[in-house]
Each structure stands twice: as C-alpha cells, then as structure tokens.
Amino acid sequence: MSGSSASHELDAPPWLRVESTLISAARDIRAAYDLDLAPLDLTLNSASTLAYVAEHGPLTQTDLAERLGLGRAATGTHVDRLEARKLLVRQADAEDRRVWLVAATESGRNLHAQIQAIDAELRAQLRAGIDRRERQMLADVLVRLRKNLQARSAEALHPQP
C-alpha cells in the first residue's frame, strides 16, 4: 500500500511533493515532540507556552497567544492546565490591576530546564546529517513560503477593487 502512495507522490508535480512533504514533516516533528514531552505530561503547545513565559517573564494571556501564534482560547486552556499543575500563575499587573499577567512559578522554571534538554536532544536528532548551510537554505525557503501565505491571506481579507 505504501509503495503505491510513494509512486503517486513521485508522479505528482514538484510543488505538490514539496508541500505534502512539508505537511508530513511538520506532523512528524509535532508527534516526536509530543512523544518526548509525554513523560513530563506536556504536549508541544503546552511546553511552548511554559517555555515562552519562563524565558520572557510575565505577560498577558493575549500577548502570549499572539507570540505563540495560538488562539486566545487555546492559550487559555494551556495556561489553565499549567496553572492547575502550579507551573504558571496568573497575577494582577502592579501598574494596572485590571490586567492579569501570566508568570512562571519556581516549579515551572525547573520544568523549563527539562524541556530545554528534551528540545536540544530532539533538535540534534532532527538535524543529523544536515549541515548549517542546508538548514539556512531551508529556513530561507520556509520564510518565503510563510510570507507568500501571509500575502495571500491579506489579499483574501482585503481584496483590491
């Protein structure tokens, strides 16, 4: 069965191959992170949430959602779960008591160190056999793809008359 799908993939136009391979690679990378983070009872998104707060200090949930590229509701769910585990805490902003900031607890900062170790090990495995120049070329192409998609989205939201 997989032979026929590989054959079909090779017969596809080049851009379709790149796009489908990119989608598959992204799915595989997410699965690898989720698997490696499972012993910490974290997913890639929850680990990213904790790591960002631990590295950048207290910030609003809205700012956190924007910086992670997640929806506010999804971010709120991750913050709720991490707060229930006493890894994050919501605290009133000293300058504006109406604003709540999300901050890492000491336990959260300690777990962040474990997340960093898992991330470093997995990145080393993912990058095996891929030199710095190849990684930079890939990064450049991915940035261009994202810009193209962002331009497409902007055009769809604001069509020119």
Calculate what percentage of the chain has a pLDDT beyond 70. 93
What is the distance between the alpha carbons of residues 53 and 156, in angstroms, rounded to a whole number?
33
Cα distances (Å, whole numbers) of residue 70 to 48, 61, 124? 11, 11, 26
Same domain, 99 and 81: yes
Q: What's the burial of 118, exposed, middle or buried (CB within 10 Å: 0-12/13-18/19+)? A: middle
Q: What per-residue confidence (pLDDT) applies to 2?
A: 46
Q: What is the mean pLDDT of residues 102-125?
A: 98
Q: How many domains does the chain have?
A: 2
Same structural domain for residues 52 and 121? yes
Rounded CA gap, 108 and 116, in Å? 12
Q: What mean pLDDT comes out for the span 133-139?
A: 97
Residues 30-66, buried b or exposed e (16+ Cβ, 10 A)? eeebeebbeeeebbbbbbbbbbbbbeeebbebeebbe
Do residues 103 and 158 share a domain? no
The model's pLDDT over 20-50, given as tens digits with 9 standing for 90+, comes to 889 999 999 999 999 999 999 999 999 999 9
Whether the predicted pLDDT of 131 surpasses 90 = yes
Q: Which DSSP string corresponds to 64-132? A: HHHHHT--HHHHHHHHHHHHHTTSEEEEE-SS-TT-EEEEE-HHHHHHHHHHHHHHHHHHHHHTTT--H
Domain around 148: 131-161
My answer on whether 149 and 98 are in the same domain is no
Distance CA 84, CA 19 (A): 39
